[in-house]
Amino acid sequence: MPPNFLAKKTNLAVYLGSSVLLAWMTVSTFIFGPLVLLCGAMPFSVRYNIATTWVRLAIGAARVFCGVRYHVEGLENSQGIPAAIVLCKHQSAWETIALRLFLPPQTALLKESLVKIPVWGWALAKLKPIAIDRSNPRAALKALLKQGKACLAEGLWVVVFPEGTRTAPGETKKFNAGGALLAEKTGYPVIPIAHNAGHCWSRNSFLKYPGLITVKIGPPIATQGRKAADINQEAADWIHQAMAGLE
């Protein structure tokens, strides 16, 4: 395990901190969720900023209550780019919210069922997500290409977790090519991202362990005139190599 993690011990402090964080996130959702819904007729930037404020407070609460900190490397690789497609390692729920803190305004590919969750999901639906039905791969890909193209043209970055589901630290899954196909069709660059959030923010437990999450943002991958398979492989290779130094 990398030296930036404390010993992963489940003790009373971990249980108490995780419980307080869960309570805080539950209560805050019923404050910020309705705010986003009430601003449904206002410009998207208003709703986005409200959601980002919640994210900032949530990540701060994780630091205070659970000792979960983070550090980002390669921020310069995400600057000065009007729009891009992010292919990100998926280990936990942490990255699904934290990316908003250090990347430009964005949307994300996610399960359609999430936007049906009362309050939280309803508010999420107001943030221009690309919600897909995973049981219908053909329709899901069509939605990604259509909505993703529209979001990119609007200046929103499109975040895709190509593994499709959260993986345990040290585990890898085959990268789905949907995000790379969107890049092939639109010519927008791909930004690969690696991180080790799974060590602190477990995928199948509410427990949060103290430690430093390291996020690595890779250099933009050119996509114009290239096939999705090549784009996907280059992104996967970069992420796998970056993960080798994090796990």
Cβ-in-10-Å burial (0-12, 13-18, 19+) of 72 comes to middle
Nearest to 85 by CA among 153, 165, 142: 153
Single-letter amino acid code for the residue at 187: G
pLDDT digits (tens, 9 = 90+) for 48-67: 999 999 999 999 999 999 99
User: What's the CA gap between 89 and 162, in Å, rounded?
Assistant: 8
pLDDT digits (tens, 9 = 90+) for 127-164: 999 999 989 999 999 999 999 999 999 999 999 999 99
- Percent pLDDT > 70 in the chain is 97
Could you tell me the fold of the domain covering 12-244? Glycerol-3-phosphate (1)-acyltransferase (3.40.1130)
pLDDT of 6 above 70: no
pLDDT of 3 above 70: no
Tokens 């897909």 locate to: 132
User: What's the CA gap between 151 and 83, in Å, rounded?
Assistant: 9
> What is the residue-averaged pLDDT of the chain?
95
Rounded average pLDDT over 98-104: 97
Rounded average pLDDT over 30-52: 97
